[in-house]
Homo-oligomer: A and B are copies of this chain.
Amino acid sequence: MAWDALRPDPDNVRLRRSLVAAIDRMWARALTEGAVRPDLTSGDFMLLLARVLRPLPGVPSGVDDPERSLAIALDGLRPGLTTPLPGRGPAADVLGGRSEVAQD
């Protein structure tokens, strides 16, 4: 509910658009350099980050180090011994970019 209220906020839209654009540029460069697997979109990357970085409820602090989950997930972005991915990669604006902007 808090997110529903925040989502259309103009400052939020502007910052999100700027963040998405920056990540999208970084991802394009990483693809060009062969640093990441070529079957992933920047939208895949953003959704994975969003999932891994969300706090996990019900786990006592001290026994969970989210940095480890993050490091494992990031290793999954590397090219090399990868398994084929299901479906199609989402566009860069999957977490809010162009669609909100169009509603401005």
The interface of chain A, by Cβ under 8 A from chain B, is: 3-4, 7, 40, 43-44, 47-48, 50-52, 54, 56-59, 63-69, 71-78, 80-83, 85-91, 94-96
Contacts and interface: CB of A to CB of B under 8 A. Distances in A.
A31 to B, nearest CB: 15
Given A3-B57, A74-B83, 16 more contacts: A4-B58, A40-B72, A44-B68, A47-B56, A48-B69, A50-B59, A51-B51, A51-B54, A51-B69, A54-B56, A65-B90, A72-B85, A75-B76, A75-B82, A75-B83, A80-B80
B94 A64 contact: yes
A69 B44 contact: yes
A64 B44 CA distance: 9
A68 B83 CA distance: 11
